[in-house]
Structure 1
Amino acid sequence: MAEIDVKGFTVDGKKIKRIEIDRDTCIGAASCAALAPEAFQLDDENIAIITDPVSDDAQTILLAAQSCPVDAISLYDEHGNKLWPEA
């Protein structure tokens, strides 16, 4: 599991504090990197990695996470509550 804490930015009034990528779930579809190329890239194993999470706006980060066909990207607020994917 790769994760990164971010300074926090809001989506629908909720602050995104942490982004996680489940490396075992990621299939390398690259939809996240296509939508938010500054924040996500694929590594040498064609698995998504977080490069610069504050370079793209919060809505773009959310869309990138939502675009993942296997929900490998999780977003959390400052209290540790999962914002995406919805439980």
Structure 2
Amino acid sequence: MDDLRWHVTVDRTRCVGSGQCAGIAPGAFRLDERRRSHPVGESTAPSEAVLGAAECCPVEAVTIRVLGTGEAVFPPEE
């Protein structure tokens, strides 16, 4: 399970630039000159900070899936 990776995306059309994601998980998110968020890398190790950043996004612009399988991490599929 040590090789498990997450694929994190940000819907930049929904992003309002609150910066909460970058504040909670600064190693995983950055804001551009227009204050739109984007992931720092194409994949990341699972972490509570990245999950917390996704959960705190006020417009639910952050999506996390298991790299390789596409299984939803956040938002959870219902």
Q: TM-score range by the shorter chain?
A: 0.7 to 0.9
Which structure 1 residue ranges, 4+ long, deviate > 3 Å from structure 2? none
Indicate whether 1:59 and 2:48 are aligned. Answer: yes
| CA spacing shift, 1:57–1:84, aligned 2, 3 Å | closer
Distance in 1 (CA, whole Å) between partners of 2:25 and 2:6 is 17
Deviation at 1:17, TM superposition (A): 2.6
What is the total number of aligned residue pairs between the two structures?
A: 75
Structure with greater strand percent: 1
Percent identity reads 28
| TM-score, length basis structure 1 | 0.72
- Please list every run of 5 or more consecutive structure 2 residues that lacks an aligned counterpart in the other structure: none
Q: Any stretches of 5+ residues in structure 1 without a counterpart? A: 1-7
Normalization by structure 2: what TM-score?
0.80
Which protein, 1 or 2, shows the higher relative CO under an 8 Å CA cutoff with sep ≥ 6?
2
